[in-house]
Structure 1
């Protein structure tokens, strides 16, 4: 199984930015752990702070041999109709992941332009949400 993890804006700052919300571990360290724990899954990773680059990567992934995408679009989740449209426009199943419990945060974070087009949403379990998404996708 080949899965793309696609992270949006500010997720390059994991381990540094608001550790009380997002934890103290960098995503690079977590990715090493995840790859070691799930050797039967080929995990590729892409992060961008630029909305158009995330859209382009979703389009590109649709033409590659991915079985699934795990997408944490960060704040673009709540603002980007275009990113939601990109998820709707591809044939690869997408799991939407959020590190924090977005429903326990500011009201504007309660809206997602991606959820409607995702096969599922995982929110509030920290970095474990990525692993939970992988588990779901591997048994789907």
Structure 2
């Protein structure tokens, strides 16, 4: 399964993370917002759609740059997962948790300390390696 995720950073240097609803897989953990790539989409299109559905923001493809990926093996019922992380440099609207959970803004050190699913731990480390 291919999944896209967005790394959004405000002008004050804080990064957005989404807390998964408690009743979902990895419930209560913090992740980069995003979701599955549909069969008829290319990854940036999926990211734009997912960020609109999940956060209520509008992005353009020109504002989404791939920066990292993380993958898991095919163990378990979920199968293999590849998450493509994009830097989202601009958006319209104020991000909100429209599908449950919560969103908040964090410093790099706060983001590192958040409880996250394993692939998001890997992605955060790559994103923040120079911070």
The answer to which structure has the higher helix fraction is 1
Structure with the bigger RCO (C-alpha within 8 Å, sep 6+) is 2
